[in-house]
């Protein structure tokens, strides 16, 4: 009579452990940083981004009342860039469960993630930009120069001056500067308007936050949303409340407005 031998229980436990570790490793390999501008909906919300490979718009949805959704909405504001660490997503099966104002070519369902936070939409700062009137350069002395000559009145940075965006609007080149400061006020902003025969600078503006989201309507108006800011002398609660608020500035035809009032 032949007796079938069974593997020891210890061996079964070891096999189960190995499979569990392999599963965890496989999941970790597929974790990624997920970025997008938040659109909050009634039941579902989405982070909209653009594919770096195809250039197509992508919608990445999550349910508001899920544990992940509650965490995201507690740390990210609508219409601001939001980033999730160690995120995982899968292609959405079936129809998008809710209509969104932003359109997407492809849709994903965010299944997990950690440490959501708002980030600046500024990724590549520069020290020079070409304009139709010649190169605009931030010199070694932290001043702004056009064709090698300081612009008047002088524009000079605090700790660090950088060019963050530039736009071609009609016969004008409109450049957005970031003036980096210290912990009391990390950043302020200023537009430089270059056209034939003149260079103008708007007054500096901003909440002092360096987390901003600028966008242009393709015509005359540039809108800049940025987080509020409360300096290091404030309490943790005051700093948190400020960081979860938003200020909106608009540029049009040489003027910057905040709450419909021109900044002078």
Indicate the range of 28-32, 36-40, 227-231 predicted with least confidence: 28-32
Q: What number is the average pLDDT over the span 30-47? A: 95
Phi-psi region of 259 (alpha: psi -120 to 50; beta: other; left: phi over 0): left
Q: What number is the average pLDDT over the span 137-155? A: 93
Sequence spans of domains, the chain? 32-118, 128-262
- Model confidence pLDDT, tens digit, residues 88-130: 999 998 999 999 999 999 999 999 999 999 999 987 899 999 9
Query: What confidence score (pLDDT) does residue 20 get?
Result: 41
Residues of the chain above pLDDT 70, percent: 89
Phi-psi region of 239 (alpha: psi -120 to 50; beta: other; left: phi over 0): alpha
Per DSSP, what are the bridge partners of residue 137?
128, 145
Q: Give the confidence band of 51 by pLDDT, cuts at 50, 70, 90.
A: confident
Which residue blocks in the chain are alpha helix, DSSP H?
9-29, 67-75, 236-243
Query: What confidence score (pLDDT) does residue 70 get?
Result: 98
Query: What confidence score (pLDDT) does residue 117 get?
Result: 97
Q: Which residues contact 182 (CB under 8 A, 6 or more apart)?
A: 158, 159
What stretch of H or E contains 60? strand 57-63
Q: What number is the average pLDDT over the span 158-180? A: 96
User: What b/e sequence results for 111-141 when a residue is b if at least 16 CB atoms lie within 10 Å of its CB, and e otherwise?
Assistant: eebeebebebbbeeeeeebebebeebbbeee
Q: What number is the average pLDDT over the span 172-178? A: 98
Give the start-end residues of each E strand in 64-207.
81-91, 106-118, 128-131, 134-138, 144-146, 149-150, 160-169, 172-180, 187-195, 198-201
Q: Using alpha carbons only, how large is the chain's radius of gyration in Å?
A: 25
Q: Give the confidence band of 25 by pLDDT, cuts at 50, 70, 90.
A: very low
CB atoms inside a 10 Å sphere around CB 229: 21
Q: What number is the average pLDDT over the span 35-45? A: 97
Query: What confidence score (pLDDT) does residue 261 get?
Result: 97
Report the chain's terminal Cα–Cα distance, integer Å. 100
Q: What number is the average pLDDT over the span 149-159? A: 89
Dist CA 259 CA 264 (whole Å): 13
* Average pLDDT of the residues of the chain: 89
Q: Which residues contact 264 (CB under 8 A, 6 or more apart)?
A: 203
What is the CATH code of the structural domain delimited by 32-118?
Answer: 2.40.50
């Amino acid at each position: 009579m032949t007796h079938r031998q069974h593997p020891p229980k210890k061996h079964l436990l070891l096999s189960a452990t190995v499979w569990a570790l392999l599963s965890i490793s496989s999941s970790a390999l597929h974790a990624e940083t997920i970025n997008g501008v938040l659109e909050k909906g009634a039941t579902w919300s989405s982070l909209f981004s653009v594919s770096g490979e195809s250039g197509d718009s992508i919608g990445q949805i999550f349910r508001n009342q899920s544990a992940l959704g509650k965490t995201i909405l507690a740390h990210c504001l609508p219409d601001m860039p939001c980033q999730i660490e160690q995120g995982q997503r899968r292609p959405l099966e079936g129809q998008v469960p809710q209509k969104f104002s932003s359109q997407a070519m492809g849709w994903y369902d965010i299944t997990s993630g950690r440490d959501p936070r708002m980030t600046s939409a500024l990724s590549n700062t520069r020290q020079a930009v070409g304009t139709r009137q010649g190169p605009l350069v931030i010199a070694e002395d932290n001043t702004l120069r056009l064709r090698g000559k300081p612009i008047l009145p002088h524009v000079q940075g605090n700790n660090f001056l950088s060019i963050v965006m530039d736009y071609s609007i009609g016969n004008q080149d409109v450049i957005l500067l970031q003036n980096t400061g210290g912990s009391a006020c990390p950043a302020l902003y200023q537009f430089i308007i270059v056209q034939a025969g003149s260079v103008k600078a708007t007054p500096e503006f901003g909440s002092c936050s360096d987390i901003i989201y600028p966008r242009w309507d393709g015509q005359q108006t540039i809108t800049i949303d940025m987080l509020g800011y409360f300096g290091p002398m404030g309490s943790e609660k005051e700093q948190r409340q400020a960081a979860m608020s938003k200020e909106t500035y608009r540029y049009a035809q040489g003027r910057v407005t905040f709450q419909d009032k021109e900044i002078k």
